[in-house]
Amino acid sequence: MRKMIYLVLLVSVVGGAGYLAYTHQTELRAMTRVFGIVAPCTEPITYSIGSIDRRFGISTSTLVSDLGAAEAVWEKPSNKDLFTYEQQGGDVTIALVYDSRQAATDTLKAAGIQIDKSKASYDALKTRYDELLLQVETEQSRYNDLVAAYTRDEDAYNAEVEKWNRRGGAPAAEYERLQDEKAALSREFAVVKSLESMLNANIDTLNALATTLNQLIVQLNLNVAQYNRTGASAGEFEEGLYRLAKGVQTIDIYEYSNRTQLVRVLAHEMGHALGLEHVADADAIMYKINRIETLKATASDMAELSRVCRK
């Protein structure tokens, strides 16, 4: 009887393991890597593309090409097959997530403002912010005055029209005068709307500058207060983020300003998926800030890759 019980238990365990392997293939692959069941760098990490926010303006095929370039950053100098793209079901799911960081980058790019991750860039952006803030405050004051004047003129015009309507209509001369006032109000309104449009555009740029400055404050570890503007976001460190949660691996990309920056941040986060940590070399792919416009792994990067692959 005891032998039969053992046999039933053994069948249950094996059957349960088989069911888990069939229904949770991605999670099990990730777990085998995390717990060292598969030796590092001996089998390629598979990845698939999840969601791409359309506001990035990038197609799936283009992102696949950029991911191939990110693979090459590690694979060419190491002569190892480290990553493989799969249409679905890869070990790592990669998504492009649009938030205030990319919105700020897009706004500044449209305004012709270039950014790099340096103290000099921070200082230049701060000067631009201070100048634009004064301009916005002046425009806001003028806008408020114009709106108040338009409201007074419109109220006076409406009162006149209502008065003559109560009397059954205005004489010809009064009617012509009211028509002239109506035309003047239309011109006045057009001026108000034009200034409003310009003011809103400048406020959007100001908020984008504040968001970007807040990011630089965090990224460069500057000992200054963040910009607390309505419409601006607090500084966040990541342009991208690799996560492992409950055996599921994801890479979310939040912000980039050109293809080189996108490929670098993809290569950086894919490095984390391999198990690489940040390195101190400011030119490295695995440096904590994506600040260099090259796609070449440095000696520090390769030393970190060798450390992980030798485990």
Per-residue pLDDT 10s for the chain (311 aa) are 334 444 344 344 444 444 444 445 545 455 545 444 457 899 999 999 999 999 999 999 999 999 999 999 999 999 999 999 999 999 999 999 999 889 999 999 998 998 888 899 999 999 999 999 999 999 999 999 999 999 999 999 999 999 999 999 889 999 999 999 999 999 999 999 999 999 999 999 999 999 999 888 888 888 888 776 665 555 555 799 999 998 999 999 999 989 999 999 999 999 999 999 999 999 999 998 887 889 999 999 999 999 999 86
Q: What is the torsional sign of CA 137, 127, 239, 262?
A: positive
Taking alpha carbons only, the member of 101, 119, 99 closest to residue 261 is 101
CA–CA distance, 254 with 262 (Å, rounded to integer): 10
SS3 (DSSP) at 241:
strand
> Exposed, middle or buried, 285 (CB in 10 Å: 0-12/13-18/19+)?
buried
> Exposed, middle or buried, 161 (CB in 10 Å: 0-12/13-18/19+)?
middle
* Integer CA distances (angstroms), 63 to 70, 90, 172, in order: 10, 15, 69
| Phi, psi dihedrals of residue 249, rounded to the nearest 5° | -105, 135
